[in-house]
């Protein structure tokens, strides 16, 4: 889906839901100046079209005992389609991996991992990451502090305070 398929009303709905995904349909309809039935119909269409992927709670990782965010670059020994596909299947099974991106440049993948502490990171590194198919090099950088972490996309219709 490309953004031209989204009209100003869709963008307003998305902006409002990004700010508060728990608001009721009545609240969303009021905020976007739609009837409740039109609002619900549009939201369901956005869900069906895959514009809204899912609804989730933002959990504070420190509060649940996972204070470390670690950015890991991974290089594979081969960049063949089969090697990339095997790695992608396996990395998706590592529960501590929060995000994984195929990259250009010196490394093939950039991965964000969460961990309890440095010992936990060492465990993840030695028992999980280095054992994935085709891995030739793993480099880790521990984030000291999060400066910007936005949960919402800067779509038209959203406003930053």
Give me the pLDDT at residue 3, please.
53
Give me the pLDDT at residue 4, please.
58
Give me the pLDDT at residue 1, please.
43
Q: Distance between CA 69 and CA 121 in Å, rounded?
A: 10
Alpha helices in the chain (DSSP H): 8-19, 25-32, 36-48, 81-91, 118-127
Give me the pLDDT at residue 151, please.
87
User: Domain limits of the chain?
Assistant: 3-48, 68-142
Q: Distance between CA 111 and CA 14 in Å, rounded?
A: 27
Q: What is the pLDDT along the chain (161 residues), one digit of tens a residue?
A: 445 589 999 999 999 999 999 999 999 999 999 999 999 999 999 999 999 999 999 999 999 999 999 999 999 999 999 999 999 999 999 999 999 999 999 999 999 999 999 999 999 999 999 999 999 999 999 999 999 998 889 986 555 44
Q: Distance between CA 76 and CA 79 in Å, rounded?
A: 7
Give me the pLDDT at residue 2, please.
46
Which of the listed CATH numbers 3.40.50.2300, 3.30.70.920, 3.20.20.70, 3.20.20.60 matches domain 68-142? 3.30.70.920
Q: What's the whole-model pTM score?
A: 0.84
Contacts of 149 (CB under 8 A, 6+ apart): none
């Amino acid at each position: 889906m490309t953004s031209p398929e989204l009209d100003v009303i869709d963008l307003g709905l998305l902006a409002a839901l990004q700010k508060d995904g728990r608001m009721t349909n009545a609240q969303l309809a009021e905020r976007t100046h739609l009837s409740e039935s039109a609002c619900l119909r549009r939201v369901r269409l956005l869900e069906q079209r895959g514009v809204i992927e899912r609804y989730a709670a933002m959990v504070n990782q420190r509060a649940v005992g996972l204070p470390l965010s670690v950015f890991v670059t991974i290089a594979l020994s081969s960049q063949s389609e089969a090697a990339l596909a095997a790695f992608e299947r396996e990395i998706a099974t590592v529960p501590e991996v929060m995000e994984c991106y195929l990259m250009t440049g010196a490394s093939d993948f950039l991965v964000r991992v969460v961990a309890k502490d440095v010992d936990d990171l060492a465990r993840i590194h030695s028992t999980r990451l280095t054992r994935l198919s085709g891995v030739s090099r793993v480099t880790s950088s521990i984030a000291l502090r999060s400066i910007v972490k936005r949960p919402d996309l800067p779509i038209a219709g959203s406003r930053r305070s």
